[in-house]
Amino acid sequence: MLYPQSNPCRQMMDLSGFWNFRFDPANEGDAQQWGAGFDPVEIIAVPASWNDQFEDWRDYLGTVWYQTTFDLSWGWQGQRILVRFNAVSYLAEVWLNGERLGQHEGGYLPFVFDITDQVKDTGNVLVARVDGQLAPDRVPPGNLAGLSGAAFPTVNYPDTSFDFFPYCGIQRPVLIYTEPPDAITDLTVSTGIEGANGVVQVQIERTPGDPLVGRITLTGHGAVLSADLDLAGESGEVVLTVPDAALWLPDAPNLYDLRVELRRDGAVVDCYTLAIGIRTIAVEGDQLLLNGEPVKLLGFGRHEDFPVVGKGLLPALIIKDYALMRWIGANSFRTSHYPYSEQMMDMADRLGFMVIDETPAVGLFFMGMGLEKRNKLCQQMIREMIDRDKNHPSVIMWSVANEPHTARLEAREAYYRDFTVIKNPSRPEAVESFKAQVELVRELDPTRPVTLVSHEGALEESFAFVDVTCLNRYHGWYSFSGQIDQGLQALDQEIELIYKLYPKPFLLSEFGTDTIPGHHAQPPEMFSEEYQAEFLTKQIRLTDAKPFVIGQHIWNLCDFKTGQAVQRMAAYNYKGVFTRDRRPKLAAHRVRALWRGEDAP
Ligand code: BDP
């Protein structure tokens, strides 16, 4: 999938701004045909979650209606015209000028409708009905009350199976854009290294039609390379060799411009420019290799989360979070627990951050109640995520899920007594589901490693399918509460056990403690800044010493909003090393010293 762009062959208009809006708690809109246009009650900012924009609708997760109008710019006639929603949580149904265009399920990935036949030059009315409800058969799931062993193990409101506020609405931009009649419809770039040379392989898809010719040009770092294209069918492939290639890596995120041009009768009919990075990523033995060299992932799980905008795209926050990550010495992060905005991904390419790109499959359970539908949705989301993000050099790994509830209850009991792993500890439905999902990822993208982020530890049988094992673990917090050293011992034991059963590179993908900024204690105790600093320091040192551990991702970069629960003081998760408004806690300074090799006191 190509991000819309404005260039001599293509046009794009961003519909961000103030839209008409209406809450529809009684579900009247369908019967009253609001799809054809409705009388607005409120005005809302797009993009942004709706929850924190008004005075009293924070916890409303039902149906709402969005409406805006637009005119086409001069010169758009004769083109194919499309509308793209970059992300709408959770279920969207869309109409243009009273005609239903279709619907899309899933909150964090883009969807497109061709509106060529419905669009007019002026006075277009675009309406979206958005449903933010939580349900067991959605991904991520919610409203599981009473389903033991499946839900997020707290009583929380709203009832999510995950630990972040279920913000909803049109959370990323909506774009109207053109594609010429003879269009480049997709590009897939994969890169290799041969000696000092880079190898860039480009797969080009085009709209079906008569044979076309074209040209592909790669520029940057002193290179200007081109090759002719002969697109008789719907796709073609070109391989370019870049002498003395400037490789993409965190310390030098070198990018090249890849420009593809299609011609008919000598005239350029379409063009598209994509920023690409030349790099390889692979797992070999216990190591993760970037450009053939072992790399260590230092970084965070984070969230798209900020006051007022909720999960809405906020460009300044993207810049700020990268600045904080740089300051602290991080080189990577995981898109916990859903694919992040395309702007965040572009910036990872430009700033040199390695990204574990995760699907929205957080808190999955495998006890029926819509299992078949969830499985289908997971596969759809894998397809959409890879289609969207496959060309980012920053994406070094795909994650198919975060903390799925895969273990059988009997297995958990034995495991949490003394780390005994009984035979077949996982639910067969879970193993089957992840086997299929990992196979799908490999089929769609054979070039990147795959992982699954687990809280089941050595009980996670699906670790057999992946390249890297990822563990979220809070010994010293939820278990061994108040006892950092005992927690450390348990962590040590568990990591070794996982490695014995699954001898692969291991990432400690979450570890941390809730920390109230300004709360101090000596000796350290839970919720104090000292406790977080000591906990993180010791767990970083422990994992640093293990040769098969490829890194540490602290939970979390910043404090973030959650639902209400007794474990979530003031409805926040306070595990950030920065506050929600991005100020450092004591641990931030400690981690910075550790990650920058200036050992902490
Ligand atoms: C893990 C989850 C994460 C939570 C975190 C926590 O992956 O989403 O926020 O623990 O409890 O279970 O803070």
> Residue 417 above 60 pLDDT?
yes
Q: How far is the CA of 152 from the centre of ligand 1 (A)?
A: 9
Tell whether ligand 1 has an atom less than 6 A from the beta carbon of residue 573.
yes
Q: What is the pLDDT of residue 76?
A: 86
Tell whether ligand 1 has an atom less than 6 A from the beta carbon of residue 477.
no
Percent pLDDT > 70 in the chain is: 98
Q: What is the pLDDT of residue 487?
A: 98
Q: How far is the CA of 163 from the centre of ligand 1 (A)?
A: 6
CB 471 within 8 A of CB 457: yes
CB 101 within 8 A of CB 83: yes
Residue 91 DSSP SS3:
strand
Tell whether ligand 1 has an atom less than 6 A from the beta carbon of residue 553.
no
As a whole number of angstroms, the distance between CA 499 and CA 540 comes to: 18
Q: What is the pLDDT of residue 152?
A: 46
As a whole number of angstroms, the distance between CA 171 and CA 419 comes to: 42
- 224-236, pLDDT tens digit by residue? 999 999 999 899 9
CB 551 within 8 A of CB 298: yes
- 439-462, pLDDT tens digit by residue? 999 999 999 999 999 999 999 999
459 membership: H or E segment, kind and range: none
Mean pLDDT (whole number) for 276-292: 98
Q: How many helices (H) and strands (E) does the chain have?
A: 8, 34
Residue 486 DSSP SS3:
helix
Mean pLDDT (whole number) for 141-169: 79
As a whole number of angstroms, the distance between CA 487 and CA 478 comes to: 10
Residue 116 DSSP SS3:
coil
> Residue 75 above 90 pLDDT?
no
CB 453 within 8 A of CB 467: no
Helical pair 586-595 and 315-328, crossing angle rounded to 10 deg: 60
Q: What is the pLDDT of residue 135?
A: 95
Tell whether ligand 1 has an atom less than 6 A from the beta carbon of residue 575.
yes
Mean pLDDT (whole number) for 61-76: 93
Pocket test for ligand 1, best of 402, 471, 472 (most atoms within 8 A of CB): 472
Q: At CB < 8 A and 24+ separation, what contacts does 557-560 make?
A: 557/300, 557/301, 557/302, 557/321, 557/324, 557/325, 557/333, 558/302, 558/303, 558/305, 558/321, 558/324, 558/582, 560/164, 560/165, 560/303, 560/305
> Residue 41 above 70 pLDDT?
yes
* Dihedral of alpha carbons 491, 496, 498, 504, sign: positive
Q: What is the pLDDT of residue 73?
A: 83
- 87-121, pLDDT tens digit by residue? 999 999 999 999 999 999 999 999 999 999 999 99
Cβ neighbors of 508 (< 8 A, separation 6 or more) are: 471, 473, 491, 495, 539, 543, 549, 551, 552, 553
- 227-273, pLDDT tens digit by residue? 999 999 899 999 999 999 999 999 999 999 999 999 999 999 999 99
Percent pLDDT > 90 in the chain is: 94
> Residue 147 above 80 pLDDT?
no
Instruction: Tell me which range, 153-157, 158-162, 558-562, is most confidently predicted by mean pLDDT.
Output: 558-562
Q: Looking at ligand 1, which atom is closest to the CA of residue 573?
A: 13
Q: N- to C-terminal Cα distance for the chain?
A: 49
* Domains identified in the chain and CATH numbers: 12-179 (2.60.120.260), 184-276 (2.60.40.10), 281-595 (3.20.20.80)
> Residue 58 above 70 pLDDT?
yes
> Residue 39 above 90 pLDDT?
yes
Which amino acids are annotated catalytic? 403, 510
Protein residue whose Cα sits closest to atom 3 of ligand 1 = 163
Identify which of 432, 438, 431, 437 has the alpha carbon closest to the alpha carbon of residue 459. 431
Protein residue whose Cα sits closest to atom 4 of ligand 1 = 163
Mean pLDDT (whole number) for 325-340: 98
Tell whether ligand 1 has an atom less than 6 A from the beta carbon of residue 402.
yes
Q: Looking at ligand 1, which atom is closest to the CA of residue 514?
A: 13
For residue 215, the tally of other CB atoms under 10 A from its CB is 16
> Residue 565 above 60 pLDDT?
yes
Helical pair 529-544 and 484-501, crossing angle rounded to 10 deg: 30
CA trace torsion 75, 78, 79, 81 (10° rounding): 90
Q: What is the pLDDT of residue 144?
A: 86
Protein residue whose Cα sits closest to atom 6 of ligand 1 = 163
Q: What is the pLDDT of residue 600?
A: 52
Q: What is the pLDDT of residue 545?
A: 97
- 164-199, pLDDT tens digit by residue? 999 999 999 999 999 999 999 999 999 999 999 999
Per DSSP, the residues of 561-578 read: E--BBTTBGGGEE---SB
> Residue 525 above 50 pLDDT?
yes
Tell whether ligand 1 has an atom less than 6 A from the beta carbon of residue 510.
yes
Mean pLDDT (whole number) for 284-292: 98
Mean pLDDT (whole number) for 501-517: 98
- 298-326, pLDDT tens digit by residue? 999 999 999 999 999 999 999 999 999 99
Q: Looking at ligand 1, which atom is closest to the CA of residue 162?
A: 8
Residue 287 DSSP SS3:
strand
> Residue 160 above 70 pLDDT?
yes
> Residue 493 above 60 pLDDT?
yes
Identify which of 238, 304, 297 has the alpha carbon closest to the alpha carbon of residue 89. 304
